[in-house]
Structure 1
Amino acid sequence: MVDKARKDEVVKCFSSLLQVHNGYDDEAVPNAGKTSIAAAEAFLQFTRGHHQSLDDVVGDAAEDDSGGRMIVVKDVDFCSLCRNHLLPFFGKVHIGYLPEGGKMLQSSKIAQVVDVLSHRLQEQEKLTEEIAQAVAGRISSPSVGVIVEATHLGFTVRGAETTTSSMITVTTSCMLAKFREDQRTRNEFLLLVKKPKRRC
């Protein structure tokens, strides 16, 4: 639930911004749809992760696991707001880890980690590292690999304005412990990420 006082302040900020830009005043425009309110609600939704704690959302959700094999969770959707341009970037996150500490996280809990961290003003590189560190901390194992593939609206609407700019994908990775140090572990992870989905 968004604090009403904070929402009112954000609405005022958007209203001031619109008035500065060409003197637009959504209060004076008939049937304008309350642009300031809608923009404020969208911004607060994009950044709600700043007011969420991973401990509160995910909790101590790790489960016992002594299998020793690699676990990979692929194609976790995310959408975040770039802290540089305040424009969205979105795509997929792939997470792999070795449950060396005897703990594992359910796929839904990993998705919640991605959701909280991505709903903050972010840079893709920082988001990638934060996801890796958050998963490692919750499974008591340092061996985690994360790959983030994203499309940035900062490229498509204000960057290199070419006919192919909308197809640009930025890929970042964070490899910790064995995922960085051991080539066989890293290659297994990369192979599983690239492996096509099995059709039902």
Structure 2
Amino acid sequence: MSNPPRVRHISECFIKPEYASEESKQPFYLTPWDLIMLSAHYIQKGLFYNKPPASDDQDQAFVKTLLDRLKSSLALALVHFYPLSSRLVTQKNENPPSCLVFVDCNNSHGAKFIHAALDMEIADILSPIDVPSVVQLLFDHDRAINHDGHTMALLSIQMTELKDGIFIGCSINHLIADGTSYWHFFNSWSEIAGSYLI
């Protein structure tokens, strides 16, 4: 029996907004409705892209250029989506006794960005009838719950190189984004990244 495929982490860093707006210097308070979601899981979605046919040297140059563009464009996108580069904080008050959970936009490492590799092809993942378990490894925050945003990044991007493609997996804390705002962020980031290609 062959060993199951494994994802190799090549590098990891944190990305902060390219610059801080005045609005981003203030705490982002959550409503009681938001707090109901503390025990829900992060939203996780991703997209596959084909690599251009190339030699090994050209492939390495393509990946390096892509990584640089993704990181630079993410820093620009986070200027507008700054809560995604933050952390959750719980403040306990004694008089009257209460707890306040908010998004601290100042004291955070930023959004997490991982470069990984998997020795599989896109078809190996998309062609089976059942979703292969390796898909869970394409996301950094698989099985994380929103409360984990106190110690984990609220946004984590994992770019995984496959033999013939790239998978960009995005995990966003569900307290900060719903499905609509998730795709608004992803499409905005994509548009900014695309402008680097011109």
Give the TM-score of the pair, scaled to structure 1: 0.30
The structure, 1 or 2, with the larger RCO (C-alpha pairs under 8 Å, 6+ apart) is 2
* Structure index of larger Rg: 1
Tell me which protein shows more helix as a share of its residues: 1
Greater percentage in strand: 2
Could you tell me the TM-score, scaled by structure 2's length?
A: 0.30
